[in-house]
Structure 1
Amino acid sequence: MSELRDQLRPVREEDAFDVARIDSFLKAHIDGLEGAPKVAQFPGGASNLTYLISYADRELVLRRPPAGAKAKAAHDMLREARIMAALRGSYPYVPAILARCDDAAVIGSDFYAMERLRGSILRRDLPAELGLDAEGVRKLCVTFIDRLIELHRIDVTQAGLHDLGKGEGYIARQVSGWSERYRQAMTEGADACEDVMAWLAANQPPRDNASCIIHNDYRFDNVVLAPDDPLRVIGVLDWEMATIGDPLMDLGGSLAYWVQADDDPVFQSFRRQPTHEAGMLTRREVIAYYGQQSGLDVSAFGFYEAFGLFRLMVIIQQIYRRFALGQTSNPQFAGFGDAARDMGQRCRHVIQKAHG
């Protein structure tokens, strides 16, 4: 089966780096690399930059931050690599880290290289060649949720994991932190959203449900499926925002991207994964399944759903601010200002429903 992923493209001019320098660095830190590398760029993603480095008999994936101003604590490539290295022994879906670099003289920023996992990565629509009927899609969906539950069950007291986050008080830190990030990312015409931020501050749970490893960006397009079995997960990617925190916050973040078949046309336009397909669980069914399997109380999930949408709105607005300031010329970001405003309205809709 061919790899179902966005087609690789030539490296964008604003994302280019000195190939000779990266070649020299990689050969000094990874055994067995031969010949001159070929470099291509994965077009997916709107935050960190991801490249394929191809040698004669080996392929590596390189991750680095984007150019331009960066939000505080964002785009920390070395932290992401450290998390992945620490987790790999407990969670076999983490790609192996092969090299890390904190010397900006090499390509102008920190970066790391990891193994490439070949398999299927689902994007906006489910490819027909997977051959999944509604029952198969449902099994895929449940497997996807099971891998998140499996992550949340990892013992965080083991070596290398306990210091990945501050733990207790995570919800309160997230509400205040993301509210401040949004205020700093404002652009002309943006929705102030002070009502949304006030509601989140006033309605947050009195305490965390638990402190566990959370991915913080768990979506189908960050999951690699086995090339010979689309119902088997072989990899989970993009660990930049992983930390120790409340598992229901992780689920809420995932559901912010969960566009189902009966959603309104505006939210349908946000869809970047095939969660609308026949057989996919609805958001309500995902929440109920997660609660049943994890044993956590999900009866008051409205806060987590609203916060997940708000956090996504902030991320979209941060990216749009970079575009508005001319720090990136990527045309896909031109409509992010409108998208952030639409997401603010969806936050309000979820808040109204939470009040019954």
Structure 2
Amino acid sequence: MTLNDQTIASREGEELDSSVIDSYLKSTIPGLSGTPQIRQFPGGASNLTYLLEYPDLQLVLRRPPFGHKAKSAHDMGREFRIISQLGSSFPYCPKAYVHCTDEAVIGSEFYVMERINGIILRSDMPAELNLDAEKTTRLCKSFIDRLVELHNVDYQACGLGDLGKPEGYVARQISGWSDRYEKAMTPDAPQWTAVKAWLKDKQPADHAKPGIVHNDYRFDNVILDPHNPMQIIGVLDWELTTIGDPLMDLGNTLAYWIEAGDPAPMQLMRRQPSNAPGMLTRREFVDYYAACAGIRIDNYDFYYTYGLFRLAGIVQQIYYRFYHGQTKDKRFAQFIMMNKLLEQISLQVIDKSTL
């Protein structure tokens, strides 16, 4: 079990100047007193996240990573706007406090939001939660319920209608991630040629009802109620959110969903307890999602394979920074192996697919 206040000293090269941060925040957030203790949240591989602990208030700061950045990624203002405007319709967003566009303050733009106290699950289900299979199933369904709820939000009503272009979303994602992957290539990276061709050939029409697409919905981006861990009280990491086909978002989540019966190499890639007794399989996940959403999904191979390819694109973008010495985070050294494994999984799905 990981309480979301578990932090580490800032990693080398990712430190923040507490006096500079404190001066800026006191000029923008009324009532702050004392000086903040700054620690870093260890999770995540994209934007950097810090805990700012004042005597009477705890805040979270988000900033882009150091080094090379994909052109369309790490838009702090966009992420700040999303949680600011979505909160009234989807009450799991943290409260947004301030967005700083002056890069002179800490060397990049950033934003500050509230800290939601709760539990964040990592690779394995902690014994301290005492969740048997029945309770774990309830937690799993709660996780899916929140995703369906997000996809059903009236994004026009909360002022986010211009967040993305739902028309042509499926085709745009396939071509866009193919292009981003090519730009992040390193000499040791797989080509993904067969998978990209299959995705282009098999892409379906856009779903009839577009919705808000989180684009990174997984267990370590949700916060569980510490008093009732079957319930989700917060959803984090809105960096990649847009308007588009909700089934593509489902595919994104399935790419992270390593079930108990998956082979050992896939288990090594697992970063959430989706293999715990009581967790739904991918097929059961899709069926429950479809039932809650009131739709029919007979074959999810395309969406799952897309999710795997997109995940490989994200992994490769991060590995690119490590390969070129633009980040010192040693976790990223193994990302090239994850990329290769994701291609192998995709080819296996394609080989068995009836599409």
Q: Same fold (TM over 0.5)?
A: yes
Q: What letter corresponds to residue 148 of structure 1 in structure 2?
A: L
| Structure 2: distance between partners of 1:199 and 1:328 | 33
1:232 and 2:234 aligned: no
Q: Deviations over 1:128-180 (max 9, x none)?
A: 11111000000000010001001111112214211111121111110000000
| Structure 2: distance between partners of 1:280 and 1:31 | 44
Q: What letter corresponds to residue 278 of structure 2 in structure 1?
A: G
The answer to whether the 8 A contact 2:88-2:158 is kept is: no
Measured after TM superposition, the shift of residue 308 of structure 1 is 0.3
Q: What letter corresponds to residue 102 of structure 1 in structure 2?
A: T
The answer to whether the 8 A contact 1:5-1:122 is kept is: no
| Structure 1: distance between partners of 2:241 and 2:219 | 16
* Residue aligning to 2:160: 161
Measured after TM superposition, the shift of residue 253 of structure 1 is 0.3
Q: What letter corresponds to residue 61 of structure 1 in structure 2?
A: V
* Residue aligning to 2:280: 281
Measured after TM superposition, the shift of residue 27 of structure 1 is 0.8
- Structure 1: give runs of 5+ residues left out of the alignment: none
Measured after TM superposition, the shift of residue 208 of structure 1 is 3.0
| Structure 1: distance between partners of 2:202 and 2:327 | 36
What SS class does the counterpart of residue 334 from structure 1 fall into?
helix
What SS class does the counterpart of residue 32 from structure 2 fall into?
coil
The answer to whether the 8 A contact 1:213-1:243 is kept is: yes
Q: Deviations over 1:81-130 (max 9, x none)?
A: 10111100100000000111000010010100000000011111111111
Cα 1:4–1:328 change in 2 (3 A) is same
Cα 1:222–1:68 change in 2 (3 A) is same
* Residue aligning to 2:322: 323
TM-score, length-scaled by structure 1? 0.97
| Structure 2: distance between partners of 1:146 and 1:36 | 40
Measured after TM superposition, the shift of residue 5 of structure 1 is 4.2
**Correspondence 1:207-246 to 2 at 5 A:** 207-246=206-245
* Residue aligning to 1:99: 98
Q: What letter corresponds to residue 233 of structure 1 in structure 2?
A: I
Q: What letter corresponds to residue 192 of structure 2 in structure 1?
A: C
1:139 and 2:138 aligned: yes
Q: What letter corresponds to residue 42 of structure 1 in structure 2?
A: F
| Structure 1: distance between partners of 2:2 and 2:52 | 17
The answer to whether the 8 A contact 2:5-2:117 is kept is: no
| Structure 2: distance between partners of 1:196 and 1:265 | 22
1:76 and 2:88 aligned: no
The answer to whether the 8 A contact 1:5-1:123 is kept is: no
* Residue aligning to 1:349: 348
TM-score, length-scaled by structure 2? 0.98
What SS class does the counterpart of residue 290 from structure 1 fall into?
helix
What SS class does the counterpart of residue 106 from structure 1 fall into?
coil
Any runs of at least 4 consecutive aligned residues in structure 1 with deviations exceeding 2 A, and if so which? 2-7, 206-210
User: Greater shift after overlay, 124-133 or 275-284?
Assistant: 124-133
Measured after TM superposition, the shift of residue 214 of structure 1 is 1.3
The answer to whether the 8 A contact 1:209-1:247 is kept is: no
What SS class does the counterpart of residue 46 from structure 1 fall into?
coil
* Residue aligning to 2:196: 197
Measured after TM superposition, the shift of residue 3 of structure 1 is 5.5
| Structure 2: distance between partners of 1:329 and 1:207 | 40
- Structure 2: give runs of 5+ residues left out of the alignment: none
- The count of aligned residue pairs is 355
Measured after TM superposition, the shift of residue 348 of structure 1 is 0.8
* Residue aligning to 1:173: 172
| Structure 1: distance between partners of 2:73 and 2:288 | 32
1:267 and 2:262 aligned: no
| Structure 1: distance between partners of 2:126 and 2:52 | 26
* Residue aligning to 2:305: 306
Measured after TM superposition, the shift of residue 314 of structure 1 is 0.8
The answer to whether the 8 A contact 1:170-1:208 is kept is: no
Q: What letter corresponds to residue 120 of structure 1 in structure 2?
A: I
Q: What letter corresponds to residue 231 of structure 2 in structure 1?
A: R
The answer to whether the 8 A contact 1:138-1:280 is kept is: yes
Q: What letter corresponds to residue 68 of structure 2 in structure 1?
A: A
Q: Between the two proteins, what is the percent identity of the paired residues?
A: 54
What SS class does the counterpart of residue 86 from structure 1 fall into?
helix
| Structure 1: distance between partners of 2:288 and 2:67 | 41
The answer to whether the 8 A contact 2:4-2:117 is kept is: no
| Structure 2: distance between partners of 1:337 and 1:301 | 26
| Structure 1: distance between partners of 2:145 and 2:206 | 25
| Structure 1: distance between partners of 2:275 and 2:10 | 32
Measured after TM superposition, the shift of residue 284 of structure 1 is 0.4
1:87 and 2:82 aligned: no
* Residue aligning to 1:151: 150
| Structure 2: distance between partners of 1:194 and 1:201 | 11
| Structure 2: distance between partners of 1:339 and 1:5 | 26
The answer to whether the 8 A contact 2:7-2:42 is kept is: yes
- Give RMSD over aligned pairs: 1.2
The answer to whether the 8 A contact 2:86-2:158 is kept is: no
